[in-house]
Amino acid sequence: MSSVEFKNLNKDVEMESFVSIKSIKVDEKFCVKAFKKVATKFGTKVMVDCEGFSSILPHRFTDRLNDEQIGYWNEKIKSGNIKLFMVSKGPMGNTTKIEFFEE
């Protein structure tokens, strides 16, 4: 492989840093790039890819976002029809309150 091919390969497999949903800044909005389901040692969870990081959403999102809904939102984001943002509202009991909104 040439250096250009390696550069392209590296770009294609580049990973976002993983951040615990509990540690993101409260009331700061983050642009959502995609949702996906991932297998964890605790079962299937929904991961959100934001600009600059990825995070696993609290369990209640796994119960609410099925594969069809994830595909729907990913298509809207990818097509540019919407700009979706995520914001943490901080700790709420044993979890973190997360909200999504369009701009």
Q: Is the pLDDT of residue 102 over 90?
A: yes
pLDDT at 26: 97
pLDDT at 6: 64
E strand intervals along the chain: 17-18, 29-40, 43-50, 53-56, 84-92, 95-102
What is the pLDDT averaged over residues 66-70?
A: 95
Q: Is the pLDDT of residue 7 over 90?
A: no
What is the pLDDT averaged over residues 94-103?
A: 94
